[in-house]
Amino acid sequence: MTTHNTHDIIISGAGMVGLATAIGLARAGLRVALLEKNRFDETPSSPGHFSARVSAINHTSEHLLRNLGAWDGIAKDRRSAYRQMDVWDGLGTGDIQFNADDVQVDHLGHIIENRHIVMALLEVARTLPDIELLAEETITQWQQDDSGVTATTSLDQTLRASLLIGSEGKLSPVREQSDIDLWRWSYDHSAVVTTVRHERPHQATARQVFLENGPLAFLPLEDTEHPQQTSSIVWSVLPGEAQRLLTLDNDEFCRELGTAFEHRLGAITHADPRFAFPLEAQQAKHYYDGRVVVLGDAAHTIHPLAGLGVNLGFLDAGALIDELVRAHEKQMDLGHAFVLRRYQRTRQSHNLAVAALMEGLKRGFTTQAALPVMLRNSGLSLLNRVHLLKRPLIQGALGNLGPAAPTLCRPLSDAPKSRFAATPHKP
């Protein structure tokens, strides 16, 4: 039986970015239908057990999660603050350290499992009457006209709204079925991810070494059972090497990992099950097609070496919320090209600039020629000694955009709550 539901916005994909977008819009009085193909995983984690998929949440993303009311929903022992970052060249002597004290902050960021961010956002979303959560349901087709979008779902519902948002990740069906083209390129590498325990304490420090075939990162985790001795790793290697690492037994893998990491944290004493995924980058050539708009990984993905992926997605969410709320307050059509063009202009140039920077870093640190190796080692050492040069890099890592940041991505004291306070929708 077909049912018909009218909303202001339809969002396909209830991951971190999709949920954040839905909450921000609903708190401004917009009615949102939020669809997710999977069942929501709300199973509490056992102490000492961690998911392999984590994000390095910078200050800007923390502001967003706090402003949405989700931050305190993430258990303290699942928010692993880090105060320092150590980066060094495995082929030379260059290294650099970033410390929270350099910019007078308490921490540089937090390492948090993706599922715990989703669970905290979901808890908030369930309290908002203007969000209709549709789990295990997808959009199968849609049509646009001059006044809105009509979408049919896998459960034979018909949804009507002014705008359809695709937020399902890099394989976004909404994007693929629209006229939004991509630039795509492969890094010809895979990332091996897992959680490990190590002999020495991590001291709330994120570490990354650039090896011959790619970077290896150790991201510190809070672990009540093994304090300061648990980290999430991301190891970028050639695809064949990734498959070999997956076939090693636990002891062999721990030995090879410890050697690759120069035993900076002593012996690796345990590794959880390992997973690997191909490293690819893509950028949408434009972010909207008529009344369809994309954000987060549906619009762009980059190399994970800086852990920026979801932070860029949260900036997308904040920028799109700003534009849609502004249009709503002015009684404008939410799907008008003028509104969506402003969002695209705000976010596409920034996302492309970050992608270009990541590509340059990746290329610069994978070459083994003598001169580039010497130059990059000298450059790292110089940056580490000159505070005036290092400080802007730290501010960039924090995600600080100053007044250019979207409203919800600013500190609580700077984000006007009245604009995003939950208000009942008038039919």
3-80+117-184+282-368 CATH choice from 3.50.50.60, 3.40.50.10890, 3.40.50.300, 2.40.50.140: 3.50.50.60
What is the mean predicted confidence (pLDDT) over 24-31?
A: 98
What is the mean predicted confidence (pLDDT) over 349-376?
A: 68
Instruction: Report residue 35: phi and psi, to 5°.
Output: -105, 140
231 bridge partner residues: 196, 220
The winner for highest mean pLDDT among 46-55, 161-170, 406-415 is 161-170
Please check the confidence at residue 23 and state whether its pLDDT lies above 90: yes
Percent of the chain, pLDDT > 70? 86
pLDDT at 425: 39
Contacts of 122-126 with C-beta under 8 Å, sequence gap 24+, read 122/14, 122/19, 122/40, 122/42, 123/70, 123/73, 124/23, 124/68, 124/69, 124/70, 124/73, 125/14, 125/19, 125/22, 125/23, 125/26, 125/34
Instruction: Report residue 49: phi and psi, to 5°.
Output: -115, 130
* Entry pTM: 0.92
What is the mean predicted confidence (pLDDT) over 221-248?
A: 95
pLDDT range class, residue 350, cuts 50, 70, 90:
very high
pLDDT tens string 287-314: 999 999 999 999 999 887 656 789 999 9
Q: What is the DSSP track for 336-348?
A: -HHHHHHHHHHHH
pLDDT range class, residue 423, cuts 50, 70, 90:
very low
